[in-house]
Structure 1
Amino acid sequence: MQRASPFLLGLALLLLASAEPAAAQAPRSRFMRPGTRVGEIVDYELSYAHAPGLEVIFPDSTAEFKPFEYVGKTYYPTRTRRGQSLDRTVYHLRTFALDSVQRLSLPVTLLQGNDTVTVPSTAASVRLQRTAPAPGPEAPVLRQNTTALPVATQFNYPYWLAGTGLLALVAGGFFIGFRRTLRLRYQRYRLRKNHAYFLAQYARHIERFTLSRSLTNMERAITLWKNYLTGLEDNTINSLTTREIVAHYENDHDVNTALRITDRVIYGNQFTEEEAETDMAFILLRDFAQRRYDLVSARPRA
């Protein structure tokens, strides 16, 4: 048999030496504890020892973790010692599967130029610890209880706020729709109230004048009459003379007669022997104020 050359033998030994560490470079994975419970977080460690110049990518949150669910991860920086680098990441997982033993193997991606190589890790397993008691030969007897328990009453703020808003909306719409009518009603109410007040005060001044025959009470009655007509018709007759007032009301017979009688009494101090003439002057002024009130209250207002 022909013997192999020393060159070919050395090359074969070099290839064997380089292939042996490559087989030992598989990523390793393990669970940090042997058992877990449903919904409980368990740590899964993935580590990979490789050459320092190798580009390694570990799985992120989008990887396939079934039957586990991804919760988070803790990344550790690469450590290089004696010509070998170590990457390590701990994933925080939880499971809701009911299998007694659950396994997981996450792959590691290697970048080689424009290509990528996926290297699977060693499989790790964890045992599910059951907390429910084992079922017996017979199902437990269930006791029925339909008694209603007292519940504390709570204030329903959303419904009250919605009701208040709806009521405000209806009130606003009603006011906008009937604004003119409401304003007219209010104006007429004020007219009636002011007229009733005037009649009461006017009658009181006349009564005091009748009892005392005091010119002060007569002056007060005439001043009240002028001020009432000023506010009723929005004019300035309270600052006018008797002649100007008569002219303002177009020589009205009642106004002319009544004011001339009161002027003769007040300024001339001429009391007539007949009290009927003075009483007639008060009645004429009161009736004239009543007619002006009826005219203004019947007039449409804006």
Structure 2
Amino acid sequence: MGAWAQQQVEVEGYFLQDSAKLGERVGYVLKAKYGKGQNIVFPDSTFDFSPFVLLEKKTFISASSEGNTLDSAIYYISNFSLEPVVDFSIPVFEVFKYDSLKYKPLESSLALKLTIEEIPDELIFKDNNVYQAIDTSFNYPLMIGLILALILIGSILFFFFGKQISKRWDIWMEKRKYKRFVQKWKKAEASFTSEPSMEHADELLGLWKTYMEHLKSRPFREWTTMEIADFLENKEIIKDLREIEMIIYAGKSGKDLPQACQNLWSICSQSYQQKITTTDERQ
């Protein structure tokens, strides 16, 4: 199990068990101890938990003592790595006005538990006197001929229509991703506007930045608000982002959250339309 890291913010992370089967639900405890005035954020579903898959996050009420605060959470994850032992840790983030620091605990190990049924000393064969039909020989030359014919036809179609098919496929996939984003955004926006908490604000902003990264192929999640505004050539977005960031970083609710959400949504929608239009016009 992990131990307290010797840092300004003390973090500890460890598994609730030493080993697990492939895909088994495992609990990982993450704790952070910090001083007054420090803004500590725990990772959410947008964090990359590889090689694990996040199933559920459970948080607990903060505990304060002698000017220090202790936050804790349990991440329920599944292991899909075939490595005999996986070393793993989850960081916490200290958020400032325009930047953040990452504090990472010592790695905790989880062993892969392999289960193989015991083989009996003597094999027992089951008697079966029922007639078993034997398949007739398969016509392999015919099968090979059909496969070659299909490959030839497919090659001819791809030669003449490959670019158009590829373009239509890209647009179709982009529309599917946009539809999924719309569903997630409406749900996150409704939760955020009805209860503008730090968790809902972080979820909404992370969803927006992740989708904009996909549309623009730029590291929106790593950029500051000023860098995002400069790239989009849109100074008005600074106000919209800070309306939401005030809740995350300062715990204060903005003045016009619905309008800020609508403005961010409009930027995603316009960027999506621009991407599929560019794809459709591609030669």
> TM-score normalised to the size of structure 2?
0.46
TM-score, scaled relative to structure 1 = 0.44
Larger radius of gyration: 1
Higher RCO (CA 8 Å, separation ≥ 6 residues): 2
